[in-house]
Amino acid sequence: MARAPLTVRRLLGLDRSGGLPLAARRGEPLRPWTVPNVVSYVRLALIPVFLILGLQSGDGRAPAAAILYGFIGASDYLDGLLARLTGQYSRLGALLDPVADRLLVLAGAIVAWNFELLPRWALAALAARELFMLGLTEFALRRGLDLDIKMIGRWAVWPTMFSIFLAMLSPTPIADALLLLGLALSVSATLLYVRDGVRANRA
């Protein structure tokens, strides 16, 4: 199958029409050693480092931990960009990317909860959502289903991560507002994923 033309919108990840690329779909080889996957491995390896820096900071206001968190979060865009530029899509990459994002959000929520940098009820709801999505993804995989990425879910990542980033730098109501926005978008995306999962399972 020929690759779709690499328009500016596709390169930036704004045009995701056509669903997952063929090489990233169920049943395709994992292809672990691609450039985008190496970026994902680095992201995953840095998450424990962030946790150590954040939890050992004393009060949670840790510029080094915040900068590392921001770097790991921003590199989420890098692996997708590299996949689109090189055409090195893979099944493993499609599985790793959302897992790395959810683990990073959970790690940030742990640090923010520990030092009460953000409203704990919102952090608890966010963590519950991410754990639920990990379980839903595993459920879908066991049944041979692919859940199409929802753009609203992609959008939810940015205010959520930026909220945690800001909270680790300085107390500000902007961080609280961004967390609530990210949580609202995340819950909306979750409802769409559940709907799609139920429909696919019935089919």
Query: What residue spans define the domains of the chain?
Result: 25-202
Amino acid at 191: L
Please name the fold of domain 25-202.
Four Helix Bundle (Hemerythrin (Met), subunit A) (1.20.120)
Q: Which of 51, 186, 179, 88 is nearest to 132 (CA)?
A: 186
What DSSP letter does each residue of 59-120 carry, written as one string?
SS--HHHHHHHHHHHHHHHHHHHHHHHH----HHHHHHHHHHHHHHHHHHHHHHHHTT-S-H
Mean of per-residue pLDDT scores for the chain: 86
If phi > 0 it is left, if psi is from -120 to 50 it is alpha, else beta; for residue 118 that is beta
Sign of the CA dihedral running 120, 134, 161, 179: negative
Whole-number pLDDT of residue 2: 46
Summarize pLDDT for 43-102 with one digit per residue, the tens: 999 999 999 999 998 898 989 999 999 999 999 888 888 888 888 889 888 888 888 998
The C-alpha angle 82, 83, 87, rounded to 5 degrees, equals: 120
Lowest mean pLDDT among 73-82, 114-123, 149-158, 192-201: 192-201
Q: d(Cα 126, Cα 143) in Å, to the nearest integer? A: 26
Specify the pTM: 0.86
Give the C-alpha distances (Å, rounded to integers) separating 189 from 69, 77, 108, 152: 23, 19, 20, 6
Q: How confident is the model at residue 103 (pLDDT cuts 50, 70, 90)?
A: very high
Please check whether residue 131 is in contact with residue 110, taking contact to mean a CB–CB distance below 8 angstroms: no
Q: What is the DSSP letter of 147?
A: P
Range of weakest confidence among 24-28, 93-97, 157-161, 162-166: 24-28
The pLDDT of residue 158? 92
